[in-house]
Structure 1
Amino acid sequence: MTGSVGEDHKSLAHSLQSRHVTMISLGGIIGAGIFVGSSAAINIAGPSVLFTYAMCGTLVFVIMRMLGEMAVARPGVGTFTGYTRLGLGPWAGFVNGWLYFYFWVVTIAVEAIAGAALLAPVVPLPQWIVAGALVAITTGINLMSVRAYGETEFWFAALKVATITAFIALGAGYVFGFGPGLPAITVQFAAHGGLFPQGWQAVFTAIPVVIFSMMGSEVATIAAVETADPAKNVVRAARTVTLRILFFYLGSISVIVAIVPWDQILTGQSPFADAMSRIHIPGAAAIMSVVVFTAVTSCLNSAIYVTSRMLHEMAERGDAPALFAEVSGRRVPTTAILVSALSGMAMVLVSVISPERAFVFLLQSSGAIILCVYLLIALSQIALRRRLEAAGEPLPVKVWAFPFVSYALVGGILAVLVLMASKPDLREQVSLCAMLFLFAVAAFHLRKRVGTAAVTS
């Protein structure tokens, strides 16, 4: 091996293009959460869930704007965990990285199990074997090259985008054109309780369900690291995420509640398929099964990518074992990918061995982690912005009306956590997440103490 080749192998490839990052960020917010999970949100709030989606979309948009501001002000730092480290200190980068890794490892198992369940009618094998096969396939894609991952995600996301766009177009045509017409829809709304059938409080009660379906846009900041211009691609994703959320989420949910009476939507079943069958689209259920399976596989593919890059970045700055920083001849972190996939598969096996105890604990403990991750990002932006302004440094990209918008976001996240803690069915998620957060902080200080002792000895 020549010296130059060896140099190439020391770092990740930068072969992703802006179109990959765009579709990865788009795919991050269009998953099974909207195709199936939206049924739970609609059941909670009825048509007023549109206000919930608008509020949660604004929260995600501000988070992305914060990341764009920090990426332009301090390019080359890495993923968002690098910015939490820069803003709040090494402990924040360590905690955020490991919490995010844990969240996505659980996601690997959840998505693999969901994919296996969707295939159960056509693949008569034990669920854990099918789940293992899905993990193996997506692991193979990630091991090939980052370009292979990017292309796969590009086409997965393209299918989801095309499906939702066609759904909104057909639904709008049905409501305003070839269907019963707007007057009939208005009568339907009145007959089922109007815009706020569950009261205005339900708009806020549905927030935990909706916010988790919208997570994933921050994956664009991880993928952007492997492009030629990371900061530019992060900003591009930050600028367009709101329009995407408004169009895809608000557009599709508006069509659903206009066509299907909200109290006839069954939790856990796709309201998209229900709406399509009422428009008399042939094979609506089969079409949505294919789309939901694509969404699940896409999320599984991204979960392995995200967990491996988290391990790689943490290893580079000393927050994880150094072997995870090693890169193969294909410029991918092979060890990190394999360990991520095996960790996810281990959780799949836990779901078989102890579905009611151990696996439920894993699911519950990961429930509120994404909110903790967003909270640390917001606090990092506030701290870094104050330092940059004190130093008189220019900020080409800014979060507007600082510090009011930033503090409002922090308050909003804390309010959601308090809301979750007040609900008996969500309270355990918050307490277990808090336990994991404190465990990660303790692990950081233990690692720091051990490292200091090793140096002094």
Structure 2
Amino acid sequence: MASGRLDSAPAASLRIRHITMISLGGVMGAGFFIGASGAIAMAGPAVLLSYAFAGILIYFVNLILCDLLGRTPHRGSFVSQVGHILGPRCGFVMGWTYLLVWVTTLAAEIMAAASLLAPLVPLPYWLLELLVLGSMTVLNLASVRGYGEIEYGLSFTKVAAVLVFLGIGATALARGHHVAHAAFLDGGLFPHGAVAMLSAVPVVVFSMAGTEIGTIAALDSDRPQQNIARIARTIAIRLLGFYLSSVAVILCILPWRTVVPGHSPFLQVLGALHIPFADGMMTIVILAAVLSTLNSGLYASSRILRDVALAGNAPASLRATGAASGIPHRAVLWVAASSAAVAASAILSPTLVFSFLISVVGVFIIAGNMMVVVARLCLVPDGRRSARFTLAGLAAVLVAMAVDPHARHELALGSIAIGGIFLLECIVSARRRRRKPAGADHVPG
């Protein structure tokens, strides 16, 4: 297992202000500014309950992560912790599902950035994708402190934009600009049934995925344990406030049936209020959000990939870090190349490879959170009501997906994919045992 990261952050370059913004930056991407439209279309007005329920689950998962890291220090990231507690097989599955989620997310963000830049920059779409990915990759290879400063600025832009949006919305509502009660509850609170509210939770959780980045970034700070605890206690509450407030404003100003999946409901609201230059402003904000998520995603996934390699579940060459900076350069390049390949698959095979990956990431996130909670329960099985509540809530989401005909397909694909990763681990372990000389030492941990 990976060891030593909590007690030897090589650069100790990040401060609490960086870590806080990095945590926000990992989640407030296109999945927030655009993805909210899909959740609203899926659940209707009940999407507020979806966001509230998902936010509560994420809050408890963050608390559990903090507790887990505090009780098993000097073992690297939470992926390493899960592998240490639940065994190498679960560690393998946890690591690779997490990496696949981020590689897919990064590919989606690359395409979103290229789409935003295409009307403004007269270059081929594929070249814009490479330029966006290349710039973020170079930034991650340069220095941890430089990454933190850029991410702080990008995340600050997003947070400021949301606060301005909430201010505009509150002013409009105070002046009487709101939808009629009949339009707000068009079809009732649960127009697609109560199950749809739970089925929308994976979509919401996917848009919130990334809160754990703060725990990874804290390992590159001067006081990792204290910073992890502080981030875990506060970040989910802040996000819940941002998400719930924003979606409530959207539903109060726009009839929910007019929200178009795949289009920014924030822009729709600003257009309905006749805010001047709304298109240009939201383009800048969404571009900042996309670049921020790319930046944070490359950072977090490269560190996790290194931990996976340290556990013996990825090529040993990916363990290498810069002597002075501590940056896992090869892992950063591997993640960037994989994201580029997935983005290319969206063009070459949009209905097969990319569609499959997009379909399974929600289940991967739910399953990963469940493994974190189970690891916590195995570590201290008694007196953990919050952990049991969280596990039950996550299980209820999977049950709702099984019942909902629209989400059942994603659950089936996700389950098959996780089964395939388990099978791959069995094959890799069997080959490793056959090649291992008698009496050889285990991978250091």
Mapped to 2, the partners of 1:280 and 1:411 lie a distance apart of 44
Change (3 A) 1:383 1:101: same
Listed as ranges, the gaps of 5+ residues in structure 2 are 1-7, 440-445
Q: 1:257 aligns with which of 226, 246, 251?
A: 251
| Partner residue, 1:275 | 269
TM-score, with structure 1 as normaliser: 0.88
Residue 112 of structure 1, CA deviation: 0.7
Secondary structure at the counterpart of residue 368 of structure 1 = helix
Listed as ranges, the gaps of 5+ residues in structure 1 are 1-9, 390-401
Mapped to 1, the partners of 2:10 and 2:236 lie a distance apart of 30
Residue 87 of structure 1, CA deviation: 2.3
Are the equivalent residues in 2 in contact too, given 1:11–1:327 (CA < 8 A)? Answer: no
TM-score, with structure 2 as normaliser: 0.90
Mapped to 1, the partners of 2:23 and 2:356 lie a distance apart of 29
* 1:2-13 equivalence runs, <5 A: 12-13=10-11
Q: 2:104 aligns with which of 99, 103, 106?
A: 106
Residue 416 of structure 1 pairs with residue 397 of structure 2: yes
Residue 208 of structure 1, CA deviation: 2.6
Deviations 1:365-412 (A, max 9, x none): 4342111111111110110123xx6xxxxxxxxxxxx43332222222
Residue 455 of structure 1 pairs with residue 441 of structure 2: no
| Partner residue, 2:63 | 65
* 1:397-412 equivalence runs, <5 A: 402-412=383-393
* 1:360-379 equivalence runs, <5 A: 360-379=355-374
Q: Tell me how many residue pairs correspond in the alignment.
A: 430
Are the equivalent residues in 2 in contact too, given 1:25–1:219 (CA < 8 A)? Answer: yes
Q: 1:84 aligns with which of 79, 82, 85?
A: 82
* 1:195-274 equivalence runs, <5 A: 195-274=189-268
Q: 2:33 aligns with which of 32, 35, 38?
A: 35
| Partner residue, 2:316 | 322
Change (3 A) 1:199 1:327: closer
Mapped to 2, the partners of 1:134 and 1:412 lie a distance apart of 38
| Partner residue, 2:153 | 155
Are the equivalent residues in 2 in contact too, given 1:25–1:220 (CA < 8 A)? Answer: yes
Q: 1:175 aligns with which of 170, 173, 176?
A: 173
Residue 12 of structure 1, CA deviation: 4.1
Residue 25 of structure 2 aligns with an amino acid whose one-letter code is: G
Are the equivalent residues in 2 in contact too, given 1:378–1:409 (CA < 8 A)? Answer: yes
Larger displacement relative to structure 2 (313-322 or 88-97): 313-322
Q: 1:348 aligns with which of 340, 343, 350?
A: 343
Residue 191 of structure 1, CA deviation: 7.5
Are the equivalent residues in 1 in contact too, given 2:195–2:403 (CA < 8 A)? Answer: no
Mapped to 1, the partners of 2:36 and 2:24 lie a distance apart of 17
Are the equivalent residues in 2 in contact too, given 1:76–1:230 (CA < 8 A)? Answer: no
Mapped to 1, the partners of 2:9 and 2:181 lie a distance apart of 61
Residue 195 of structure 1, CA deviation: 4.5
Mapped to 2, the partners of 1:22 and 1:76 lie a distance apart of 22
Residue 359 of structure 1 aligns with an amino acid whose one-letter code is: F
| Partner residue, 2:290 | 296
Residue 356 of structure 1, CA deviation: 2.5
Are the equivalent residues in 1 in contact too, given 2:45–2:189 (CA < 8 A)? Answer: yes
Are the equivalent residues in 2 in contact too, given 1:32–1:296 (CA < 8 A)? Answer: yes
Residue 437 of structure 1 aligns with an amino acid whose one-letter code is: I
Residue 414 of structure 1 aligns with an amino acid whose one-letter code is: A
Are the equivalent residues in 1 in contact too, given 2:141–2:327 (CA < 8 A)? Answer: yes
Secondary structure at the counterpart of residue 356 of structure 1 = helix
Deviations 1:247-282 (A, max 9, x none): 201111111111112222222211111212233321
Indicate the percent of aligned positions where both proteins have the same amino acid.
37
Residue 90 of structure 2 aligns with an amino acid whose one-letter code is: A
Change (3 A) 1:258 1:83: same
Residue 193 of structure 1, CA deviation: 4.9
Are the equivalent residues in 1 in contact too, given 2:137–2:333 (CA < 8 A)? Answer: yes
Residue 199 of structure 1, CA deviation: 4.9
Residue 15 of structure 2 aligns with an amino acid whose one-letter code is: Q
Larger displacement relative to structure 2 (198-207 or 433-442): 198-207
| Partner residue, 2:121 | 123
Deviations 1:141-170 (A, max 9, x none): 000011122112111111111011111122
Mapped to 1, the partners of 2:184 and 2:363 lie a distance apart of 36
Larger displacement relative to structure 2 (304-313 or 376-385): 304-313
Are the equivalent residues in 1 in contact too, given 2:32–2:207 (CA < 8 A)? Answer: yes
Residue 334 of structure 1 pairs with residue 332 of structure 2: no
Residue 56 of structure 1, CA deviation: 0.5
Are the equivalent residues in 1 in contact too, given 2:199–2:407 (CA < 8 A)? Answer: no
Residue 185 of structure 1, CA deviation: 5.2
Secondary structure at the counterpart of residue 231 of structure 1 = helix
Are the equivalent residues in 2 in contact too, given 1:109–1:344 (CA < 8 A)? Answer: yes
Mapped to 2, the partners of 1:363 and 1:385 lie a distance apart of 35
Mapped to 1, the partners of 2:415 and 2:400 lie a distance apart of 15
Mapped to 2, the partners of 1:190 and 1:346 lie a distance apart of 42
| Partner residue, 2:141 | 143
Residue 315 of structure 2 aligns with an amino acid whose one-letter code is: P
Change (3 A) 1:45 1:348: closer
Residue 294 of structure 1 aligns with an amino acid whose one-letter code is: A
Are the equivalent residues in 1 in contact too, given 2:83–2:92 (CA < 8 A)? Answer: yes
Mapped to 2, the partners of 1:256 and 1:107 lie a distance apart of 25
Are the equivalent residues in 1 in contact too, given 2:36–2:204 (CA < 8 A)? Answer: yes
